[in-house]
Structure formats: structure tokens, C-alpha cells
Structure 1
Amino acid sequence: MSDPDKAQLTETEIRTRFITPALSTAGWPLTSLREEYYYFSAGRIQVVGNKGVRKKPKKVDYLLEWRPNLPIALVEAKDNNHEPGAGMQQAIEYAEQLDVPSVFTSNGDSFVWHDRTGVRPEVEVEIPLEAFPSRAELYDIYKQWKGIVDADEPVIASRFYDDGSGRRPRYYQRIAVNRAMEAIAKGQKRLLLVMATGTGKTYTAAQIIWRFMECFKAINPRKSQARVLFLADRNILIDQTMMNDFAMFNGRMAKLSASRGTITRVANPDDADDAGSKAVDKSFELYLSLYQAVSGSEEVDNVYKQFSPDFFDLVIVDECHRGSARQDSAWRGILEYFGSATQLGLTATPKETATVSNIDYFGDPLYTYSLKQGIDDGFLAPYKVIRMALDVDTFGWRPEEGQVDDSGTLIPDRHYTDEEIDNTIIFPERDKRVAERITEYLKSTDRFAKTIVFCEDIPHANRMRRILANLNADEVRKDSRYVMQITGDDQQGKREIDNFIDPEIPYPVIATTSKLLATGVDAQTCKLIVMNSRIESMTDFKQMIGRGTRVRTDYDKWFFVIMDFKNATRLFADAEFDGDPVVVYELQPDGGMSHAVEELDDIDETEDATEYELEQWVELPGARKVRRKRIVVSGQQVTIIGEQVQMLGTDGKPLTSSLKEFVRKNLLDRYPTVDVFVSAWLTAEQRSSLLDELLDAGIPLEDLVEQLGLELDPFDMALDVAYERQPVERRQRADTIRASGYLNKYTGQMRSVLEALIDKYVESGVRSIEDIGVLRVEPFRSMGGPMELIRSFGTRETYLKAVHDLGQQLYQETQ
């Protein structure tokens, strides 16, 4: 019988008095319970104007672990005013995401047990508090669910590397590692993990290697030591990996850094570029190498054959959507040579075309963590899109009769399409228009926002570098590296890659490139990606977008912007793409910008292939083909035409209406009359929370304010756009409340704080005054510490009430 006093207890008290004791009675030690702690997401980032705001992260009340990083059950708690099974649907959703088989809910009276495995006869059953299952019982269910037998246990029981810092893998990294080890325990030889760019593939690989080495005797009792080969296609990927995620293997790893067996024996390859010997040293446990460093067109260059075919026990292929996926690739020969080893492919963009297949070689993915999921969890940055339509791209171009190009050669009389612009035919004025728009955006936001400009080819990257340098001459004179070309043929540019990706180093700021920065470059603070090249490959598109997905809030990097001049972002609508933009600003002429979406191979066998390979595989020797003759037409006027703001609807598909009309329609659907809207605004506990709800519902009032460049509160923006009420600017509202004498009831520091909050409201809107963090910045910092300022009001609750009342007063005349 339920205790009537339980109804007076909070959820926390229910956990402390009833649920935790029940778990302890069942034999669960406190060290196996992660209570009210395991925030398994970071909290999705909402883009509000030019700012990022985090939503609350997801959490579970209890995560029950068999051992660290192996959860086998979760418990969702509710207060006693709920039924025992309340919250079960959310708990099941979290269990699916966390890869946990047993799900429980409780209100302190009993547990409801949901079994996701099919091992138990009932899917869901209510059990008494004292009947909670033991650790051994739930682990046995877990093993049956995963198909783990006793012989697998030594491999499954291997531990994650612990550096003593308390760092634990994120939940999806933990799932990826555990699934890989489970597959290895079962003897599976070909493994594939799909993880979005920026989610830590190399850290995941490091943990797999560590655990593989730790349990290797159980995997292969005939060998005393595991040998691992890590393959990548960029020097920078190898170097970054050795310095960062693979640092745990210092002294145990070597880099095959050149042909014929030269190796680097130290963790930092920069310390020993010429170290090594011609004969491969086979004493290391882990070798990292470029494909190009161990293979070549001549048999003598195939260094990997200095190792016996059974030398390596585990081969990990980074970015396996590249050449390793091709059946006829020379690199595939490396994998086939070491065919007895377990082979793991890592990719953000699995590739399936007529000639390239990850799945054909590695098998179906053991686990997929998508860009969309990463953004939803808040581990990856959301993005905005600004689409530009230039007249020559949209309508094409035809020369006048007898018109000649810059060299004086007669231009063939035909219609030139956007596919040919910047390839067959070049308009310098087009380059200038693009560079002007990039410069305009940076000047209006952040002149030092790291920017990647993707161009058609190396000559195009060179032209864009020159024009951007001229348009930003003030910054270039301070440091010539403000704009740099970083392409496969430019040694100086390549030397600046490390500086470009280092958050602590300001230069270079703008990098023009073709393909070199498209993959593997960890540009954590990149805030602007410019698509100035025609992109047909979904793989390339995802890789380019991935350069901006890192979140670095300590450097004010909450989201990134994609500026699209080639309609590349049409690929967002493709079924293969797995992450939607938060907002799309589209400059579009009448008639639209529709193009067929075609999937091409990564390396097209055309006259551009050599140049592409030079960008991608810069260590490959060989002469470039003769530069193609191109038509250059100076003086041709090029303009950005039309303007239309495009938003995503609730179904995730783009809407063609303007942002203003879009907001108006959605507001009226939600609040049919002005009275209903005003009532919702005034009764909201926090206006910022209401604005978040509106944003989720497709009503981005703050984005509309920003786009129109008005000094309005979102409240007044709504009144204007939906209900045809005369808006009031923020400064006017502030002046009204000051003139009303409302603040006279406050004295001393209280009044000073509220006066400063009103100033913050004028400066940046209602969100700023509701954020208690505002007390950490000026002018509040000069008044005292946050706790001191709060105590001047009495308690935290009285401070928050004063702020709430201030907000009410700001909108008083609308009641």
C-alpha cells in the first residue's frame, strides 16, 4: 500500500529514500550507479540571431554499469504523484540511444521493467521495489542480447584507456568501441564504423587499439604481442593523430614516413623528419602510415611487403570512403596483402557507387553516428546557409557576335552554362563579386573568423586569394597571412595548415583551396565555409561541410555559416544527407535555382584527375598535365540577383515563402489573435524559454529581427508582422519604464543592477536580462561578484522575481 506521505516528497527525495536503497539491496554498489550525473548529450545549440544558446542536455536518473563504460540498464525516477510506469517512453528512447537493454521506471512504490531484448517472456512488467534484479542477472540478459558467450568474455572485459584525468568517452564513442570489440570477440574480420566529422573517430580508434592490445593474448594465444597498422591519406592526419589521440602509445608506435622503409621513431614527427633507416624496424607495436608511403607503382616501392602478410593483427583504415574503397585501387592491394588481419574502416561518409563500395569490402556498419544526431546532441555545431545567385551562373552567358577574350582570340559562339563557368570560361568580375560578398560578411560579423573558400581548382584558388587580399588590404598589410592559398602545389600554404587549424593562432584567417582542406583538417574554429565550386558528390559535400562542425564555445564558436555561390547546398534536400540547416537565407531570382543532383565518383577520370590527385595525395610523385587553355573574359558585368529568405518547415523541407511571411503564417497558426499571443508572452515564466519553443516550432522571431536590421524586441516583431500593431523599439520601452518611476521602489545596489539590466535589454534584448550569467560581465563585474549582487536582493529567488517583474513592466502597456 502506498505511503500517503510519499506524495509530499520531491523526485530527488524519492530517489534517495526508496530507489537507491532498493538498488543497493539488489547488490548494486554505488560505484556502479551514475545517478543524476550522466548527461549523455551536451544540449542542442539553438542559433539565435548571431548567437548560440544551448538547450538543456539529456540525462538519465540512473545509469547502471556492469563495469565502467559498459551500461546494462537505466532507471527513470518520478515523484509519487506519478504512476510507476510514468516516463517509460522517454526512458526507452534514451535506452535505444545509449544501447542499453533493460529499462526501469519508478515512483518509489514499485518498478516497471521494460525488456528490449526479447530474452524475458514479458516485454513489460511491474515488480516490487525489493525485487529489483541483481547485476549478474541483468548482465546475463545483456550477454544474451549481444550474443556473447563465455569464450568472448576476456575480450569483452578489456578496459578503456584511462589517463587519470577523469575523461570518459562520449556515449556514441563508447558504443562504437564496445561494438567493435564484440565483433572482434566473435571473430569478425571486416568492420565498419560510420561517425560524422568532428565526433572523434581517431579517439575511438585509439581506444579500440588499446583494448585490442590489452586482450590480444585471448584473441591469438600463439602470438605474444599485437601489431597494428593505422592507414590514412594525409600527412596531417598522421601527425595530428600521433600528437593527440594516440599519445597513449608514445614509445610503442612509429610512423612510416617515406618510401623504402624510412620510419620516424618518435611521437612528434616534426622532431625527426629525416630519422630512421632504410630497413623497416619491426620492433614497434603500432605503425602509422600514409597509403602512399608504403605503396607505389613499382614493386620496389611497395614497402608494406617488407612485412610478412601475417605481421599485422589489426589494420585500421581512416577515411575509408577514399581510394581504399575502390576494388581496383592500388591501396586495396595493401588490405588484401594483410588479409589475415582484422580490418576496421572508419568514415564519415560511406560510399556506394558503381565502382566504389565500403560495404562490399568492410560489411554493414557496426554503428552509425550521423551529423544530424551530433547536432541534436549538441556535440556538433548547427549551421546557417546563405545562398547567392549570380546572373551568369543562373542564366548562363553567350558572347556577342565577334567578341574576343582577353588574349584577343575569338570566343566560340555558344551558350555557356554554370557548369563551364570557372572551368572552360572565366569571368574575373564574377570572382570579384564573390570576394566582395565574403568580405562584406566578415566585416559585418567578425574579421578574424576562420574561413575556408572552396574553389573549382588550384588556379581558381589563386585568383580568389589575390582578389580577397586586395579587398582586405588593411589586414593583409598587418600580416600577409590574413589571406592564404592552401593547395597541394603551394609549399608555403601547406606549411600554414597547422596555424590555420590552431585556435590560438590568428593567421591565416581566410584560406582559399580546392580539395586540400576538404577532409581530415580539424579546423575547430572555422566559422565560415564558402562553396565557390560546383559539387556533385555527396561524399565531397559532407566532407566540406564537416570542416565547420566543431563546437568551441570557449572561442565563441557556436555555429557556422555556409555561403553558397554554386547551389551546392541543394544537396541538403538529397535523401542521403542526414542533417538539416537551422535556417537558409537564399538569394534567388525568379524561376528558381534547380539543378539535377547527380552522384559522381570521388576521383573522376577526366583531365582534372591529375590536379585533383595533386590536391588529395600530395606525396605522390609525377608531373602534372599541361594547364588547360581557358577563355578569360574581363569587363563582363556580374551581379548578385534577387533575394529570398528560405526557411525549413516542420517537415524539414524548405519553404519558398519569405521569412517574414513564414513567421507570420506560423505565428497566426499558433496564436490566432493578438490577445492570445500577448497572454502567452506575459504569462511565460521566462521569455527566453518561450522564444526557444517558438524557434522549435518554426517561428524564428530573432532571426527576422536580425535580417531586417531593426532595434525591436522579438515581442514587437511579432506584433508588427502578424497582428499589424505598431512596434515599439527597445530603447523606447526602456525610456518608458525609467520615466514611470517603477525603479523608485529599489535602492542602492539593487537599483544599480536593474538599471544596468535595462541597458542590457536595449543593447541585446530580453534574453540578456534573463540570463543570470550576465552578472559576470561589465558593468556588473565592476559592481561585485554575481553572488554578491544576488545577495543584495536577499536570495536567488528574490533576484529572479525582480528580473521577472522587470520584464513584466517592460510590456506593461500591452496588458
Structure 2
Amino acid sequence: MIFTLRPYQQEAVDATLSHFRRHRTPAVIVLPTGAGKSLVIAELARVARGRVLVLAHVKELVAQNHAKYCALGLEADIFAAGLKRKESQGKVVFGSVQSVARNLDAFQEEFSLLIVDECHRIGDDEDSQYQQILTHLSKVNPHLRLLGLTATPFRLGKGWIYQFHYHGMVRGNDNALFRDCIYELPLRYMIKHGYLTPPERLDMPVVQYDFSRLQAQSNGLFSEADLNRELKKQQRITPHIISQIMEFAQTRKGVMIFAATVEHAKEIVGLLPADDAALITGDTPGPERDALIDNFKAQRFRYLVNVSVLTTGFDAPHVDLIAILRPTESVSLYQQIVGRGLRLAPGKTDC
């Protein structure tokens, strides 16, 4: 199958090739959720002269990126325990961070390019799995190029993940992992040009949770114990909120509800129609989780409740209502949640 890159996707590819012809410094591309990062990755892997390793932090993203590359009529390896494949000898390898970091011995041959999807997740800690991989691959090939892709180029409490923007701004400091942001596309461009669905904000007309007494941690998230304690005090509000969501959802095809804690999520599911709702948490077994996601995408039920597990690597374009029933001070997390509803789908006019 031949894919024609959208103009901005081609610009991102061209910017990468131009940068690495002139520099060896790590570079980052910023594309909003739904911009087709996997197609940019596929094209870069296709045109690269040397071997390419593409990393992602969840198996769904590994599989998505691999599938897009193979759709070009090409073959590539997968190294991810969650996908039950551990191949590392091909010209292009798509791997999960966890599996690659635990099996560095399988990566003794040199790569010329390391691509990291959702690269804002790379921390400063030298012992982190990302840094272990980067250190190892750089020893094998001191001329290794590093490219990151993300929709959110900053970390709460840490700041920008790059130092210089190609429009001339200085953002991060000398400690930023990526030196240059070589291409960026704003979300408003995607919406204005019809690549994404316009978001419409709905405020709850009657009642809302009040999380103002809670103190966020350094990563912008709140402790589960604090959240549960606060939600218990406001327990009577939940049925009213869910009834409002169900009212909004009458004309909607797919509804994603982001709960604050597992306890909260179970309460929410108990208030939704039993035959039209499902719950996914971090404890949901892999096969059951995959089956639930497939059934949701097939629109066999309308409401999917989750706790922090479907913010990346999840693609269900029919989703046209998102209910955020959890607090966060992380702009990155908020953008990822909202992004779940912005993909185009037949008959969809907004989210």
C-alpha cells in the first residue's frame, strides 16, 4: 500500500533529514495527537540508510508503529514481550522500552538512528530504562542519531525537553536531553484544516467535584489515598454527574470516562447501564483488556471507564464524548486525554 504523506508530515520528514545531515545533536518533532506520528516514523525508517530502532513505552504503540511501517510493503522486527516477539536483527526494529532495556545483549549490532515515540517520558535519571538503552547503543555506535516525537514537549517540574526551537526561541537549559526542536505543528492548525475534530467544552450545569483542597505531587498528579478520601466526602455527587453524562451521551456513539482512582471507577461503572459499559484499570489482564478495547472500537458498548491507562497508544476515532472526572495539573496528561476524542470519523462533527 502506498501512503501519500500530508504536507506537514513531509515537512517533518524533510526537517529531520536536513538536521541530521548537518548535526549529530538529538532532535525532537512536536506533532499533536492525531497528526499521524506513526506515518512520519515509518517514512523516516524507510529512507534511513542505516539500521533504525523505534521505541515506545506501551505495546499498543509498538504494534501501531510497526503496522504502519509494514503497510508500506516493508518488513520489520518487533522486540516486545507483550507482543510475544523478540526479534532484533532486522534493518528496522520496533521495540518496547521495557523489553529492550532488559535484553541489551540482543542489541550488540549498531543502529544509526534511535527514534523514541512519546519522548517526553524520558527522564533525567541515568538508571532509567531509556537512558540505559541510549548509553548502550551509543557505546556500540558513537555516531548514533537520536530523534524524539511527542505532542507535549515538556515535563511538569522539569520544564522543556529541548533547548532551542527552530523559530529562534530558547526554551530549555543545557540539561535538556534534546538540543533542537526541528519541527512543530500546533493543534489549532490540525483543527482549522480539517485534520482533527473541533473540541466543544461542556460544563456540568448542576454539580461538580471540588478538588481544590488537594495538593498535587511534583509530577502534577495526586495521590490515590488523598483522592479516595476526598471522593468519599463527595460521594453523593457522583450519581448526579453520571446522570448528566448519560444525558449528554444520548446522541453520542462512544464515551470515554477518565476516573480519579480504581475505587472511583468502580463506583462510576456501577451507575452506568451494565450492558453498555466496561472498566479498564492497570490490573485488567492483558487478554481481557484487548477484548474490551476491540469491543468498544466495534461499538458493542458505549461507555468505557478507565484509570490512567488509555491516555496514549489508544485509537478509537468514533469517541465523541470525553468526561474527565479526575484532577491533574499536568498539561501533557490533559492534552493526551482530550486527544482521544479529536480523531476524525464518519458522521462525527465535534467531541
User: Structure 2 length normalisation: TM-score?
Assistant: 0.83
CA contact (8 A) 2:228 2:264 kept: yes
Per-residue CA distance 1:604-645 (angstroms, 9 max, x = gap): xxxxxxxxxxxxxxxxxxxxxxxxxxxxxxxxxxxxxxxxxx
Shift of 1:422: 4.1
Aligned partners of 1:511, 1:191: CA distance in 2, in Å? 36
Q: What letter is aligned with 2:302?
A: V
| Pairwise CA distance, 1:458 | 1.8
**Counterparts of 1:249 and 1:515 in 2: how far apart (Å)?**
34
Correspondence 1:240 to 2:89:
no
User: 2:281 aligns to what?
Assistant: 487
1:347 equivalent in alignment to 2:150: yes
Is 2:322 the partner of 1:499?
no
Question: Quick one: which of 205, 223, 235 aligns to 2:41?
Answer: 205
Helix, strand or coil at the partner of 2:255: strand
Is the contact made by 2:88 and 2:106 (CA closer than 8 Å) also made in structure 1? Answer: no
Deviation at 1:243, TM superposition (A): 2.5
**Aligned residue runs from structure 1 range 325-474, under 5 A:** 325-328=123-126, 329-339=128-138, 340=142, 341-355=144-158, 357-359=160-162, 360-388=176-204, 393-394=209-210, 422-426=228-232, 427-443=234-250, 445-446=251-252, 449-468=253-272, 472=273
The 5 A counterparts of 1:729-808 are none
Q: Deviations over 1:294-315 (max 9, x none)?
A: 22xxxxxx3124322x611111
Can you give the 5+ residue segments of structure 1 that lack an aligned partner in the other structure?
Answer: 1-162, 217-225, 260-268, 296-301, 398-418, 477-481, 561-815
- Give the letter aligned to residue 320 of structure 1: C
DSSP-derived class of the 2:53 partner: strand
SS in structure 2 opposite 1:248? coil
Q: Which residue type is aligned with residue 97 of structure 2? A: Y
Gaps of 5+ in 2: 163-175, 214-224
In structure 2, the CA distance between the partners of 1:392 and 1:441, relative to structure 1 (3 Å rule), is closer
Say if 2:277 and 2:304, in contact at 8 Å, map to a contact too: yes
Q: Secondary structure at the match of 2:315?
A: coil
In 2, Cα distance between equivalents of 1:313 and 1:395: 48
Q: Find the aligned partners of 1:389 and 1:396 in 2 and give their Cα distance.
A: 19
Name the SS of the counterpart of 2:301 in structure 1.
coil
Q: Distance in 2 between matches of 1:428 and 1:535?
A: 19
Q: What CA deviation, in whole Å up to 9, does each residue of 1:507-527 have, x standing for no partner?
A: 232110111111221121110
Q: How does 1:612-623 map to 2 (within 5 A)?
A: none
1:288 lines up with 2:88 in the alignment: no
- How far has the Cα of 1:331 moved from its partner? 2.0
SS at match of 2:190: helix
**Alignment equivalent of 2:22, drawn from 180, 186, 209:** 186
Cα distance between partner residues in 2 of 1:351 and 1:423 = 30
Determine the C-alpha separation between the residues in 2 that align with 1:395 and 1:487.
22
Residue 286 (structure 2) pairs with residue 520 (structure 1): no
How far apart, in 2, do the equivalents of 1:346 and 1:365 lie? 10
1: CA distance, partners of 2:186 / 2:238: 34
Which structure shows the bigger proportion of residues in helix conformation? 1
Assess, with a 3 A threshold, how the Cα gap between structure 1 residues 395 and 200 changes in structure 2: closer, same or farther.
Answer: closer
Q: Does 1:307 align with 2:107?
A: yes
Secondary structure at the counterpart of residue 364 of structure 1 = strand
**Would the aligned equivalents of 1:452 and 1:530 in 2 still touch at CA under 8 Å?**
yes
Q: 1:326 to 1:390 in 2, by over 3 A?
A: farther
Determine which of 298, 304, 309 is the counterpart of 1:511.
304
- Whole-angstrom CA distance in 2 between matches of 1:333 and 1:423: 38
Determine the structure 2 residue equivalent to 1:88. none
| Larger Rg belongs to | 1
* Matching of residue 254 in structure 1 with residue 77 in structure 2: yes
The separation in 2 between residues aligned to 1:185 and 1:320, in whole angstroms, is 22
Specify whether residues 395 and 362 from structure 1 end up closer, same or farther in structure 2 by C-alpha distance, changes over 3 A only: closer
Partner Cα distance (2:198, 2:96) in 1: 32
Number of matched pairs:
319
- CA distance in structure 1 between the aligned counterparts of 2:271 and 2:155, rounded to whole angstroms: 38
TM-score normalised according to structure 1 size? 0.37
Residue 558 of structure 1 corresponds to 349
Tell me the residue number matched to 1:196.
Answer: 32
Give the Cα separation in 2 of the matches to 1:546 and 1:391: 25
Aligned partners of 1:520 and 1:547: how far apart in 2?
9
- Could you say what secondary structure the match of 1:239 adopts? helix
Q: CA deviation at 1:393?
A: 3.5
1:438–1:342: structure 2 CA closer, same or farther, 3 Å change rule? same
Amino acid paired to 1:467: L
SS at match of 1:381: coil
**CA deviation vs aligned residue, 1:416-451 (integer Å, no higher than 9, x gap):** xxx9564444143222111111111122x23xx111
Q: Establish whether residue 543 from structure 1 lines up as the match of residue 336 from structure 2.
A: yes
Q: 2-side partners of 1:524 and 1:331: how far apart?
A: 30
Q: 1: distance between equivalents of 2:281 and 2:155?
A: 28
The DSSP-based 3-state class of the residue aligned with 1:466 is: helix
Structure 1 residues 521 and 391: CA distance shift in structure 2, 3 A: closer
Tell me the percent identity. Answer: 26
Q: Distance in 2 between matches of 1:389 and 1:327?
A: 44
CA–CA distance in structure 1, aligned partners of residues 211 and 31 of structure 2: 39
Query: Residues 396, 210 of structure 1: CA spacing in aligned structure 2 closer, same or farther, 3 A cutoff?
Result: closer
Structure with higher RCO (Cα < 8 A, 6+ apart): 2
Question: 2:281 is paired with a residue of what secondary structure?
Answer: coil
Shift of residue 245, structure 1, vs aligned partner: 4.3
Q: Secondary structure at the match of 1:366?
A: strand
Partner Cα distance (2:15, 2:9) in 1: 10
Match in the other structure for 2:219: none
CA shift for structure 1 position 233? 0.8
Contact 1:256/1:290, CA 8 A, preserved across alignment: yes
1:236–1:521 Cα contact (<8 Å) kept: yes
Q: Which has the higher strand share?
A: 2
2:23 pairs with 1:227 = no
